[in-house]
Chain A
Amino acid sequence: WLQYFNKEEFIYAHDPEKKCKTGDIVLIQELPEKMTRLISHMVKHVVYPLGDITDPLTGKKVVVGKYRDEIAEANELYGESENAFKYDDAPDRGWQEDKKDFTHRESYIKYHEFPDDDQPYAV
């Protein structure tokens, strides 16, 4: 019977300013000459950062299928609580790295107990 499989292509792109983070959709340009054996492209700019997408047509911020204004309107109609999440007060992505969010590095299965090392990326 027919089976369909995904194909993945890995490209090494030069990013000296560290603009992109894991999961971002990014625009890359092919370099005229290969920088190293592997690096063939360079990162131009981030199009859609992960979890913070702006609609390209309207320019408004979006959460999955709804605009943020719509959600805010609904909350206001119900009577927004004090503990609700506010987008304006939220800091940029990365303030919980190494504290609660360990997705910026690849995790591995612990294979040895090091006396000095805490091994925060070991599962």
Chain B
Amino acid sequence: MEAFDPAELPELLKLYYRRLFPYAQYYRWLNYGGVVKNYFQHREFSFTLKDDIYIRYQSFNNQSDLEKELQKMNPYKIDIGAVYSHRPNQHNTVKLGAFQAQEKELVFDIDMTDYDDVRRCCSSADICSKCWTLMTMAIHIIDRALKEDFGFKHRLWVYSGRRGVHCWVCDESVRKLSSAVRSGIVEYLSVVKGGQDVKKKVHLSEKIHPFVRKSINIIKKYFEDYALVDQDILENKESWDKILALVPETMHDELQQSFQKHHNSLQRWEHLKKAASRCQNNSKNDKCGPWLEWEIMLQYCFPRLDINVSKGINHLLKSPFSVHPKTGRISVPIDLQKVDQFDPFTVPTISSICHELDVISTKEEEKENGAESDIKHRTRDYKKTSLGPFVKVFEQFLENLDKSRKGELLKKSDLQKDF
């Protein structure tokens, strides 16, 4: 893969927005079948331009308008905001108080930095294959809940381009949800609570809610490989002391001793599980059983959501197919059927796909005499690069949206025909 140099962005972006950005699909998504008048026209976009210039309240009349603008401005970053009561680019002409955010997809942002207290391999903006499993687990847990508990059908998961993933829930009813309900959903999905000053961040009650139970079952599939091997959380005293901080003091001495005798994290974990299952007669909650073990697993593996991203209807979030200015990676959709195989390090960068395009173009020019119009090339260019498969995932998502929409329209028209 071609190495990415941020200094080349201006040139690369020109090519990207001219030949590679999937405009047709993008418009198809945000237009939502044109069922609601002006839905696309009232959508806010924001651009981050060169030198960190940030402009809000961008809006467009149609796909062609969007294309022209992107090709003119070549933004480093695109954010998507809410659908407003009026065209965002005219918001200054609207009477005070009348310009309101009305609808938006329900979005989630899961960021690896929120796990710094429980990952030993990296910190801050860094990620590696050892800690990426956290994202894998997060996607499985959250997606299951959104689908099975809340009944949400149209969920688009996107790689953020550096250290996390985003989820866009696009069901019609979901776009209309109030801020209070969005907050409530995040609360429902939250289990790890507390900041830096809180050592033990997970406390389970005696009754385990089905959501928590099912999430624990998902974590169980990955825990051994992720926590006990890759992260090696019980490797040495320094690391296992952190686990002991989550366990009643009465157990510490015994565990310290036995940990010394064992050879690896797997053995130590087995021992800890057995010790935890024994009834704790001294402690206040006479919980016999695996609660302690689950609390540790959850603290180390359960997803951490940023409520502020999800609750505001007017919150702006990075757009799919936007470029990450620091890594060059494209924010690509993640195939839900292949979550476990997703590798952020193989996600195409803007430089790599531009390079691929160059190679292909020169080859094609050698074949034809270059009389083909630009447009024909443009509509199929991304397909010829490594971006192609990701656009396919996006198209599948759009197909499902279309099917749903048709179903809804049929239902409505049937109801109207009934007297």
The answer to whether A and B assemble together is no
Task: Give B contacts to A, CB under 8 Å.
Answer: none
